[in-house]
Each structure stands twice: as C-alpha cells, then as structure tokens.
Amino acid sequence: MRIAFVHYHLWPGGVSSVLYRQAGLLMDSDEVLIIAGENGAAGDGAARGGIPVVVVEALGYDRFRPAAGEAPEEAAGNLARNLLKAMKDHWGCPADVVHVHNPLIRKNAALLPALNILNRQGIRLLLQNHDLAEDFRPDVYYPGEYPENCHYAVINSRDYSFLHRAGLKPEGLHLIPNEVSALSTASASTIKPPERKRYLYPVRAIRRKNIGEALLLSLFIPQGKTMAITLPPTTQKDETIYRRWIAAAEELKLPVEFEIGAAAGAAPLAEIMAGAVCVITTSVKEGFGFSFLEPWLADRAVIGRRIDYVCRDFEEEGVRFESLYSDINIPMAYLSLPLVKHKMEHTLIAVYEAFGLEAPAHLVKTMEDALLSQNTVDFGCLDEDLQENIIRTLRSNKVVYQDMGDSNPFLMKLGDLSRDEALIKTNKEKIRQAYGKDRIRALLRETYRSVTGAPVTQRLSKSILLELYLDPRKIFMVGVGRD
C-alpha cells in the first residue's frame, strides 16, 4: 500500500516525531512518502531510516512564507496540485491513503480547502488530529467547513467521544495513540542516586506547559536540588512570557535551570534523564501525553499535574500514577476574588468572541458559581500575573508557605520520593504492550484498510464541537490560545 504522510513541517519533536515513527513502522511492508512544507533538522532521511521526504513549500506555515498575492481559491488549487504532483513524481500515481497530521489546526489557510479539492477528486484521506482548535485555541480556528465523507483519527478517547458526538461514525473515526519509544538508558545505570539532582521538566516552554507552576514546585524541592526545564519556546508570544519567568526566577533566586537541553554542548536527553531525580509535568493541556509515559521507560517516575482525560486512557491500559495531583489549591485569602472573577469571565467572553460567538450568559454564570462555591482556586487556572504574585508571596512569607503546604500536602512530600522499582517495572511492561511498535503498526494497518474500503458518508458539526470543548469549568488561562 502507498501511504503519503502530510504535515506542515518536519521540525524536531512533537507531531513530526510521531509522523516519522509511523512512517518507520510501515517501511518494511508498505511504500511510504513524507510530504512537508519544511524539511527542518528532523528531516534527514538518512538519519531516519531512509524515509523519502518531498518538500512542498506551499504547505508550510503561513507566517514563514512570503505573501504570494494569490486569491484563497487559487492558493488552495495550487497546493492541491502540488501535493498530487509530489505523489505522482514519486510513484507515478496518487497514494492509496493520504495521512494528514493536524490539518484542523489552521497553520496554513490553504490546506483544508486543498484537502477538500483532493477529497472531491476521490483521493482517500485520513485526517489525524493531535489538537483541536475548538479546545480553547481560537487563534488557529478554521472558519470554513471541515472536509466531509473522509476518515478522521484522534489520539485520545476524549477527542474520539467528542468527534463521534459531533457527527462522525465509528466506521469513519479511528483512535490511533502514539508509539512510545524508550530513550537510550545506557548511561542511566552508571549514575548513582546521590548524583541525581534535577527535577526534570523535559519540555519546550510554551504557555500551556504552565511554567509558573514549575517555579512554584521549585520552592518545595529539597535544598541542593533544582527544577530543570529543557527547551525554550519558538514563537514570540510564548517567548515574551518565558523571558518573564526567567527574570522572576533570577530575581527571587529560585533553584530553577532553563534551557539545559538547548545550550551549546548540551548533553543528549538520555544523559540528562540519567541525572534526574524524577520527571515532572505541570502542563494544563496535552493531546496524547508523552510526558506521562516516556520517563517510565527511562526508569524515572513521573510526578506533577494530572490531566484526567489523558491519564484515564493510560490507566485503562494498566499504567499506574501514584504521584500526580489534580490541582494546587490557593486559599482565596491570598487572592482578590473580584479580580480572579473578572479575569476568568473576560477570558471566557474573549474566547467566544474570537470564535465569532457570544458567550452564553448561563455559561458565564456556571463559571462564576463554580468559583464562588469554593474557598480556593487552582493555581493552574490563574494567569501569569496572578501566578507570579503567589510565587512572590510564598517566597517572602513563611506563614503563607506553611499554609500552602497544609492545603496541598503533596508539596511537602516532593523531597520524600522513594524509588519504587516494582512500579517502574510494571509501568514499563504496560506501556510497551499498549504503545509499542507492534500494537501501533497493527492499528495503522487496520485503519488504512478501513480508509481504502467502502466509502464513508459523514460530516462534523463545528457548533457541537465548540459546545463540547468550551466547558467554562475547564478554563486554564495559561492554556488559552491567543494571537
């Protein structure tokens, strides 16, 4: 079978790594081709098992391409022709399946119209979504209709449920989790526990990764240890906030290291992982959740913020999480309730306006009632201004520090982590069974057989998707996409 994988770019990490892994799984039995708008550092075919890559510049992010003066219809037609040409130049014919990654995230305004063109021409499409713009990301929302009568895929069961409820049929909707591979751990066995000094956050520090919460946790780790963040963000909007956190950490003398995986001469991640006490995550939003699984394969436990819809999938496969928290309760005495209420209401209303909608009054009231019914607010729900104020108060006031520890006992236990070899072994086995190469390869092949089988008739209701994702009780201000 001929499979063409399509994505905006092949930069290292994220969706690009997933795409490469999928293509690599199929190399032994299928003909694969990757079509991308930019090759990037991750696009070395020789280093990636010789997977063929074709660059179609018109597929790249809009912000990185000079304006060509094309009308939208013309841009879509040109992109559709270029995608088809890439396949015909490589095989002499179109692919049996065109597997497109994250097409509903509008990074290139011409992509979805181009896919509609290919769809009408009979090209079999599989649109795999790692993120949905409806999930509080109006900055990447596509205003037109999504492609109809083609197959869709998602990477977690929550998204499967929502897309099904929004109109997709089981025969045309597929759950394809990501393959999880182990880092090389050769160096890990040579590192003695006393040398493990870092609470490692192996992440690119974008806004939804909730970097302020990592700084808060740094106040509760043992003296002599550090909170270590591996990579900087790549966009200006995230960079501005990131630099703010660096400045705050320096001013407050917090035990936090930044960019330990990006500095000149930085060690490989496997080596960095070997010097870690454990791996933390404070992210408020994930598509799949590699950060909850990969550390176990490197013999490191995961601690930090639980994301229910992600962790539930893993727990159903037998993975156990014993050091995660659902929230960090900030007593309302340390916050201005009117200010928090105003900020959260403003965020909800602004999100709806960005989607071209008016926030229903009952949703605003639902959020307000949820806020007023509690004596605390989750730290992760706050914006950066409020988060920084809390961190400053904790740093300067021992009474507040103790009160926070009493309200959130797990904070005081961050230094008491004991290595549970049995749990690490069990989780490694469960992860390899559920997310190993054989399981994911079989899922991909089963999905492609469905895509090339009987045609499917279905369409997504965008209004239902918005209703499902825009839950006012699930607002994390650091997780809201913004221009």
Same fold, 2-178+436-479 and 188-323+417-433: yes
Helices and strands (DSSP H and E) totals, the chain? 17, 15
* Residue 173 DSSP code: E
Whether the pLDDT of residue 5 is over 90: the answer is yes
CATH of domain 2-178+436-479: 3.40.50.2000
The mean predicted confidence, pLDDT, of the chain is: 91
Is the CB of residue 324 less than 8 Å from the CB of residue 297?
no
Per-residue confidence at 194, pLDDT binned at 50, 70, 90?
A: very low
Distances (CA, A) of 452 to 99, 115, 336, 456: 12, 17, 57, 10
Nearest to 8 by CA among 62, 51, 44: 62
Tell me the two tokens of residue 464: 């239902």
Is the CB of residue 284 less than 8 Å from the CB of residue 308?
no
Is 2.60.40.1580 the CATH classification of the domain at 188-323+417-433? no
Whole-structure pTM value: 0.92
Residue 161 parent element (H or E): helix 157-165
CA 362 to chain centre: 30
Return d(Cα 209, Cα 224) in angstroms, integer.
24
Nearest to 257 by CA among 240, 275, 270: 275
pLDDT digits (tens, 9 = 90+) for 433-472: 999 999 999 999 999 999 999 999 999 999 999 999 998 8
Return d(Cα 226, Cα 397) in angstroms, integer.
21
Whether the pLDDT of residue 96 is over 70: the answer is yes
Where do the domains of the chain lie?
2-178+436-479, 188-323+417-433, 329-409
pLDDT digits (tens, 9 = 90+) for 258-300: 999 887 777 888 889 888 999 999 999 999 999 999 999 999 9
196 or 290, which is more confident = 290
pLDDT digits (tens, 9 = 90+) for 120-147: 999 999 999 999 999 999 999 999 999 9
pLDDT at 372: 72
Q: Which of 303-307, 311-315, 467-471 has the lowest mean pLDDT?
A: 467-471
